Chain A
Amino acid sequence: MNTRRDFIRISTLAAGGVALGLTPLKFLSGSRSREELLDLPAGSSREIYRRIPSYCEVCFWKCASWVYTNSDNQILKVLGNEDDPLCNGRLCPRGTGGIGMYHDEDRLKTPLIRVQKNGKQEYREAGWDEALDLIASRMKEIKAKYGAESMALFNHGCSGPFFAHLLHAFGSENNAAPSFAQCRGARDVAYIHTYGTIPGSPEITDIRDCRCMVLIGSHLGENMHNTQVQELAEAIDQGITLITVDPRFSTVAGKSKYWLPIKPATDLALLLAWIHVIIEEELYDKDFVKLNTTGFDQLKSHVSSMTPEWAYGITTLEPALIRLTAREMARAAPASIVHPGRHVAWYGDDTQRSRAIAILNALLGNWGKRGGFYVPEKVAIPDFPCPDYPKPAWNFHDIHLQKYPLAEESITNALIEASIPSADNHHQIRGWIVSGTNMPEAIPDKQLFLKAVDSLEFIVVVDTMPMEITGYADVVLPECTYFERYDDIRNSAFREPSIALRMPAAEPKYESRAAWWITKQIGERLGLHDYFAYDHYEEVIDWQLKQVGTSLDEMKEKGVMRFSRNKDVYLEGEIKFNTPSGKIELYSAAFEAAGLDPLPVYTAHPEPPAGYYRLIYGRAPMHTFSRTANNQNLIDLMPENAVWVNPKVAGIEGLKNGDRVYLKNQDGIRSSFTVSVRVTERIRWDSVYMVHGFGHSKKELTKAYGRGASTTELITRVMVDPAMGGTGMRGNFVMFVREEEGKEVEI
């Protein structure tokens, strides 16, 4: 079968029920009820009856929480678990509003199967058995024809590991997440080749005790990764010096002693100039550098000409300001951090920029130091016993090792490309499982995606919501939300090791099911019984918890358990690094061997032509991209994105606050929907800014449909990182097109 895969709209309706039992709480005892106090009608069902442990799924941070229900088992609210070192009892707005996901009436409700009817493709509702049988038979077919390796998984979130387990047991390791090539991959590769380890997730930045922190485009506070924001606030109380580098006056720029309004795409020049000043003025930690690094002399001569005056011409930042900020960060060292950032897929040389950040940190001598980078530790939870996975004949490394030598993880865009037949494609992907990632909105280059979709033989999409990706599937499976399911034990590497339990607070709504159940069902149909040797996932969790000295029953009461550390959180003296030299590699022989610059070199990137502005995007604290765009609780806080325009630009373009415009990029791609103009001094005149995750085109997302503009849609020029295949997405330029009849504005 090689169908043209029509995009199908989903519309199904089904009813649901809720029932569950746990120990009731004695809450608010001895005080008047809200109804008495506020003189409200009696019999309101807002009274809390019990609380059920969980952890959040709105972003990857996984803050532990309590889900509060009333005596009718209705979910009322979700609050942070006080014992959780990651959230300290305080969820972020997305976590607090996360219940909107559970209540969302647009959720996927039944399995759906693509059928041909009257010459038109559409979905029909199906029972679970039929859908699962179909998936298993198609997977077997693909395995028989091409080998199990030709099935790939794209995933994000807590369901991912279940599908990865299924796929590995089936015989494929082709499992990719956008969190690598579209997000933190360049950073992680840079750190692996400098320090021999990644800067963590959660990041191992000791912000709590930091005295000076540099943020390169990181917008903490808008990026609401909970622990970091909590510690930033604590550090502000303690008088931290913040240095924020951003063409946009971000929230944290407003809290910074120094805001460096850099010309976009020139950050690497600034970093090299800082390295120059710190070496030139001998501000670096000499003992640390001598004891723990290699390649200092090469670095010194490499940056000798990269003066602040040199950087001034590139970055538009005053040389005096560059010197001043270099001295500030050196003065605070080692309690001084240049934050490695997280979403770093900007200009295609992101691994090199991240290397410069890693090098600068090494000069500050902050590795293993209080207020620098701490040593994370997690709990050693053994895997539930199961047979070894079969060894596949090939895997993702065979797809992209030649092209992207340093990619540690699998690259989404490379797997998409491998799904398209061509003369030099020797490892073709034939089928996809997509779990919890809305690929057309998360990964740029929609044309490539559509070509792949057209070439594939089979696509299964598992999601809670009718995201854009569901329209391309042969089978759609409705997953239940994190309020209705068990997932793996949360085990975060942090200063203090801790685990957290997620269990259902309610029965799954509609016909939705948990990933553990779905994968077990498919696995059994594929004859992989030994890999799913349990009747209920509770058995797995209970077994694992008992290995670390607790149990499911105990965790149901506590939600979170903290463990003591086995190693020190900070390091002294000579440190052993997991690099070939055992040292921090300022000069990277591995990069050199891969044909890459062994020390970071600034390269100029394309600039917007006249009448165009660089499209910069970011996060809002109350949304997690597509995932929350249809969540009514969070829509109340931010219903759509706006395009930020500097007043000078607004004057030239004749735009007013609140005007609605289309955006058209350098390749002539126009946004599907209009976006509201926000005229603000907070953005440079050569750029515009939008929050990512809006402008949804799927009508079944009734609340998100057509609200704002999609950034991904406008990112058609992708600057691919030669080191690790990351998709640099900040090289796109847009112009304004008036709402009325798409009449273009001339300047």
Chain B
Amino acid sequence: MRYAMAIDVKKCVGCSDCVVACQVENNVHHGYCRDWVTETINGTYPQLETEIRSERCNHCDNAPCVRCCPTGASHIADGGIVLVTARKCIGCGACIQSCPYDARYSHPDGHVDKCTFCAHRVEAGQQPACVAVCPTSCMYFGDIDNPYSDISQIMKVRKWKVLAPEAGTRPQIFYLL
């Protein structure tokens, strides 16, 4: 069992519904976010190319945030989901520094916070809030170890990439090209 997410950049319109759905679902404080949208433009007018991406914690197989956490607050839970136990976190920020994706932030309550893949929803058999809400249905979430899951199927037929592969973190967010 290995949870992963694939995001189709051909369909994503960058509307940020994933961001607000996450905020509302997870009660993320105003002014903070666990996921976000980036836009890359290449070329000069009128020869232009764009890529819009919804980004978040990559729930890496080789997670530097977990390795560098001095208290064990950052850990890998069932299905490879990287979580932070707020109660154990001393807010030292080592994980924030170590993350090549800038996916973690200091919660105003003093601990570190980030995307949980909506573990509470996943356990109840639901999709993460961002995936469930997306108007373009551009996100696929599921068990990548299961060859019949939607995510395995789509990744078989589409080209994909990961962000910052050179960091060697074995990220589990895949961008369909």
Residue positions of A touching B, CB distance < 8 A:
28, 31-34, 37-40, 46, 76-80, 89-93, 96-97, 99, 220-222, 224, 226, 229-230, 232-234, 236-237, 249, 251-255, 259, 261, 621-622, 632-634, 636-638, 646-647, 680-685
Q: Which residue of B lies closest to A39 (CB)?
A: B85
Q: Say if the beta carbon of B166 comes within 8 Å of chain A.
A: no
CB pair B27–A249 under 8 Å, yes or no, is no
Q: Could you give 16 example pairs across A and B, Cβ below 8 Å?
A: A31-B124, A33-B120, A37-B119, A38-B83, A46-B27, A79-B132, A91-B17, A91-B133, A92-B15, A99-B24, A221-B15, A255-B10, A633-B30, A636-B31, A680-B41, A685-B45
- Chain B hits for A91, CB < 8 A: 17, 133, 135
- Chain A hits for B124, CB < 8 A: 28, 31
B92-105: contact bitstring with A at CB < 8 Å (1 yes, 0 no)? 00000000000000
- Chain A hits for B43, CB < 8 A: 681
**Complex formed: what's the CA distance from A534 to B85 in Å?**
55
CB pair B41–A682 under 8 Å, yes or no, is yes
CB pair A90–B135 under 8 Å, yes or no, is yes
Q: Which residue of A lies closest to B10 (CB)?
A: A236
Contact A254-B50, Cβ < 8 Å, known A222-B13, A622-B15:
yes
- Cβ 8 A contact of B133, one of A39, A96, A233, A634: A96
**Complex formed: what's the CA distance from A93 to B134 in Å?**
9
Could you list 7 further interchain pairs (A-B, Cβ under 8 angstroms) beyond the known A38-B83, A96-B17, A249-B45? A32-B120, A38-B119, A39-B86, A91-B133, A99-B24, A229-B13, A237-B11
Q: Say if the beta carbon of B44 comes within 8 Å of chain A.
A: yes
CB pair A40–B86 under 8 Å, yes or no, is yes
CB pair A233–B136 under 8 Å, yes or no, is yes
B114-156: contact bitstring with A at CB < 8 Å (1 yes, 0 no)? 0010011001110000001111111000000000000000000
CB pair A229–B136 under 8 Å, yes or no, is yes
- Cβ 8 A contact of A77, one of B25, B46, B125: B25
Q: Which of B11, B116, B120, B135 has the most CB of A within 10 A?
A: B135
- Chain B hits for A253, CB < 8 A: 48
Contact A90-B137, Cβ < 8 Å, known A255-B10, A634-B20:
yes
Q: Say if the beta carbon of B14 comes within 8 Å of chain A.
A: yes
- Cβ 8 A contact of A97, one of B24, B116, B125: B24
Q: Which residue of A lies closest to B19 (CB)?
A: A637
Contact A230-B85, Cβ < 8 Å, known A96-B21, A97-B24:
no
**Complex formed: what's the CA distance from A636 to B133 in Å?**
18
**Complex formed: what's the CA distance from A55 to B80 in Å?**
37
CB pair B123–A636 under 8 Å, yes or no, is no
Chain B residues 23 to 47 lying within 8 A of chain A, measured CB to CB, are 23-25, 27, 30-31, 33, 41, 43-46
Q: Which of A37, A99, A633 has the most CB of B within 10 A?
A: A37
Q: In the complex, how many angstroms separate the beta carbon of A479 from the nearest chain B beta carbon?
A: 23
Contact A249-B123, Cβ < 8 Å, known A92-B15, A229-B136:
no
CB pair B13–A621 under 8 Å, yes or no, is yes
Q: Say if the beta carbon of B52 comes within 8 Å of chain A.
A: yes
- Chain A hits for B24, CB < 8 A: 76-78, 96-97, 99, 633
Contact A90-B132, Cβ < 8 Å, known A39-B85, A77-B25:
yes
B31-73: contact bitstring with A at CB < 8 Å (1 yes, 0 no)? 1010000000101111011101000000000000000000000
Q: Say if the beta carbon of B169 comes within 8 Å of chain A.
A: no
**Complex formed: what's the CA distance from A252 to B50 in Å?**
10
Q: Say if the beta carbon of B159 comes within 8 Å of chain A.
A: no
Q: Which residue of B lies closest to A27 (CB)?
A: B124
- Chain A hits for B50, CB < 8 A: 249, 251, 254, 682
- Chain B hits for A255, CB < 8 A: 10
- Chain B hits for A222, CB < 8 A: 13
- Chain A hits for B133, CB < 8 A: 79-80, 90-91, 96
Q: Which residue of A lies closest to B28 (CB)?
A: A636
- Chain B hits for A251, CB < 8 A: 13-14, 50, 52
**Complex formed: what's the CA distance from A76 to B24 in Å?**
7
**Complex formed: what's the CA distance from A683 to B46 in Å?**
9
**Complex formed: what's the CA distance from A683 to B101 in Å?**
29
- Chain B hits for A80, CB < 8 A: 133
